[in-house]
Amino acid sequence: MKTTIILTMVLTLILSGISLYAVEETKVDAKALFEKKCIQCHNLDTARTKRKTAAEWKSVVMRMKNVNRCPITDEEAEVITEYLTKNYGK
């Protein structure tokens, strides 16, 4: 019984470590993504000199994606919006 409990705890710790490692590996560098995608059409100072709310940044990024056809995914748009809000928010 004691061995089973210990084995269960060890396996839980191992699996937790693997899942934490997987999350860390897929973490996106938001600044690099912003710079890579947005410089295709803009001087980056255009965004860096603005101060907008989260809703305003989301509106801008989604307009770039959906209307202007910026080649970004929905997930990338979310990351860029969060980056802009954190660094250039009101």
Query: Do 64 and 76 contact (CB within 8 A), yes or no?
Result: no
CA distance 64 to 38: 9
List the chain pLDDT tens, one digit each, 90 residues: 777 777 666 556 566 665 444 444 456 799 999 999 999 998 989 888 999 999 999 999 999 999 999 999 999 999 999 999 999 999
Please report the pLDDT score of residue 52 as a whole number.
96
Domain count, the chain: 1
Question: Can you give the residue range of the structural domain that contains 8?
Answer: 2-88
Please report the pLDDT score of residue 30 as a whole number.
95
Please report the pLDDT score of residue 25 as a whole number.
45
Domain with 79 in it: what CATH number?
A: 1.10.760.10
Residue entry with tokens 């860390």 = 24
